[in-house]
Amino acid sequence: MAAKGFNAYKMAREQFDSIADKLELDEGTRELLRTPMREYHFTIPVKMDDGSVKVFQGYRVQHNDARGPCKGGIRFHPQETADTVRALSMWMTWKCAVADIPLGGGKGGVICDPHDLSDREQERLCRGWIRQIAKNIGPVEDIPAPDVMTTAQHMLWMMDEYEHIAGGQYPGVITGKPVGMGGSLGRTEATGFGVIFMVREALKELDIDITSTTASIQGFGNVAQYAAVLFTEYGGKVVNVSCWDQEDGKAYSYYRENGIDLEELRDITDRFGSVDKEKAKKLGYERLSGDDWLKHDVDILIPAALENAITADNVDKISDSVKLIAGGANGPITPEGMDALNKRDLMVIPDFLANAGGVTCSYFEQVQNNTNYYWPREEVIGKLDDKMTSAFYAVMELAKRKKIPLEEAAYMIAISRVVDACRMRGWI
């Protein structure tokens, strides 16, 4: 789903292998954790509005469930691949472990472009996905959630289809549902807010006042928007966001030196995060190339779009003014890119730590579903803040003690926790 020739699964395995060497894991343990436990590939026939039938390719990959039921989103994207889903499922395992929530890693996807589908066609696709995988997911087995280009409405259609098949009420089968239909208050903003909770604590470690900082964000979907919301509330200034332009199939950055206005940009942004270029120009935004988001003289970079955003090929374009990078997306920095950043002595909050707010709040949603008792928004956000802050300092403490980068410390904690669970179960 990124540059041609890029393989997210290869990258995920390389990241794991590097830490496995440092942890001195035996060959059997390595093989268990570098390969998904289960994979499901299936076709989904959908009757289109014009009466024709179109067949879509769907996936669900369950990487590891030693610490609890698998958890992970479902992507709708025209460039989805099996290897991307495999990588994301592995990253979800580490994400749940580093956040210390009792879940494993899974991921799903469909090769499609929702822009080209009517609401009814999208509903049929959602229900078809569930029909193909209903026997292999569930509240105690594997709990899907929204991801790139899927929404709370998609999740509700999926839950409804699952309940028809299972013959009961199972709100905990899926998370990210609408509030009032089993969804949790605070879920929509959880991933973006979680990123900024991490940024806030990292800036404290760097002895930098957040109110004096500027940030450039790649993306303007859910994660990017809510990261910008909270960062602005804390007194920081966002000068750039970027998005995909559906018309010409390219990414563009929207830059304004005195800071973006979130509400005015949201008003000219569609539900897929694409900004209306003509209206943006009238509002004083510069429309730059998609790569320009990382070239600005800012304090903080937040890649919050797709994987493979910072690589060995573009890392030298990052301004010397940048002091902190927080991974809002999954897999936004390649291993080669991370090596280059470490050589520059930049603090980098790895993606699976920085963006763990979403899965943490999904876990909260499932807890509420299981108890049939729903918390007020302030309680959800407070619990999320506590969980994210605790995870950050656990990683920071290890990084300081071993004098290693945050990414390495986060991987060591996460992988060690999964290894311990596998050993206690007697799998290895």
For the 188-354 domain, the top CATH level (class) is alpha beta
Digit-coded pLDDT (tens) for 287-303? 999 999 999 999 999 99
Question: Domain segments of the chain: what residues?
Answer: 36-170, 188-354
Task: Read off the pTM.
Answer: 0.92
In 3D, which of 4, 1, 21 has the Cα closest to residue 13? Answer: 21
Same fold for the pair 36-170 and 188-354:
yes
Please tell me the predicted confidence (pLDDT) of residue 273: 64
In 3D, which of 42, 43, 44, 49 has the Cα closest to residue 121? Answer: 49
How big is the chain, counted in residues? 428
Please tell me the predicted confidence (pLDDT) of residue 248: 77
Tell me the three state secondary structure of residue 37: coil
Tokens of 387: 């969980």
Please tell me the predicted confidence (pLDDT) of residue 4: 62
Query: Quick one: 288 exposed, middle or buried, by C-beta within 10 A (0-12, 13-18, 19+)?
Result: middle
CA-CA distances (angstroms) from residue 116 to 185, 285, 288, 289? 30, 28, 26, 25
Q: ∠267-271-274 over CA atoms, to 5°?
A: 75
CATH assignment, 36-170: 3.40.50.10860
What average pLDDT is seen over the chain? 95
What are the residue ranges of helices labelled H in 134-237? Answer: 152-166, 187-205, 222-233
Query: Rounded to an integer, what is the distance from CA 368 to the centroid of its chain?
Result: 22
- List per-residue pLDDT tens for the chain, 428 residues long: 455 678 999 999 999 999 999 999 999 999 999 999 999 999 999 999 999 999 999 999 999 999 999 999 999 999 999 999 999 999 999 999 999 999 999 999 999 999 999 999 999 999 999 999 999 999 999 999 998 889 999 999 999 999 999 999 999 999 999 999 999 999 999 999 999 999 999 999 999 999 999 999 999 888 999 999 999 999 999 999 998 887 777 889 999 999 999 999 999 987 766 788 899 999 999 999 999 999 999 999 999 987 789 999 999 999 999 999 999 998 899 999 999 999 998 999 999 999 999 999 999 999 999 999 999 999 999 999 999 999 999 999 999 999 999 999 999 999 999 999 999 999 99
CA distance 147 to 83: 16
Neighbours of 267 (CB within 10 A): 11
Instruction: Please list the residues that pair with 241 across neighbouring strands.
Output: 254
CA distance 161 to 144: 13
Is 59 within 8 Å of 375 (Cβ atoms)? Answer: no
Please tell me the predicted confidence (pLDDT) of residue 307: 79
Q: Which of 10, 22, 95, 107 is catalytic?
A: 107
DSSP letters along 358-427, please?
HHHHHHHHHHHHHHT----HHHHHHHHHHHHHHHHHHHHHHHHHHT--HHHHHHHHHHHHHHHHHHHHT-
**Catalytic status, residue 277:** no
